[in-house]
Amino acid sequence: MTKLGIIRCQERSEICPGYNCFPAIRAKTGSFAAYDDVELIGFDTCGGCGQGKSVKIIARAQRLKDKGAEVIHLSTCLAMHCPWKDLYAKDIKEKVAVFVVEKTHGPISSAADH
């Protein structure tokens, strides 16, 4: 069983509390199709727009890892709309030492270092 956490865009969380992420986990679609079985450790936001500074998202990713997450998914809303998502994915991977996968649902492009 793979233990994972999801980090989503705080701005977009006001209009979407995971309406597409949770069904994708249950149905094993989108990026979750790669797993045999998953346990969702936590579902958090990025902490608000860091505008290129990863301090808040790193703290949240570290908390998810401390609770047992082996993989952090950057939600589709964050992966598709955040101009700093590449920096955030890189910093989470390097500073938190956890796998990072971009997107949760919808058509999946390549996963980031997983």
Structure tokens at 64: 């998810």
pTM of the predicted model as reported, rounded to 2 decimal places? 0.90
Distance in angstroms (rounded) separating the CA atoms of residues 22 and 20: 6
Residue 103 pLDDT > 70, yes or no?
yes
Residue 94: other Cβ atoms inside 10 A: 12
Residue 45 pLDDT > 70, yes or no?
yes
Could you give the strand order of the β-sheet that contains 71-74, starting from the edge strand earlier in sequence?
38-45, 2-8, 71-74, 99-102
Which band of pLDDT confidence, cut at 50, 70 and 90, is reported for residue 50?
confident
The domains of the chain are located at 2-102
| Mean pLDDT computed over 52-61 | 94
The distance between the two most distant Cα atoms of the chain, rounded to a whole number of Å, is 36
Interval 62-101: pLDDT, tens:
999 999 999 999 999 999 999 999 999 999 999 999 999 9
**Fold of the domain spanning 2-102:** Rossmann fold (3.40.50)
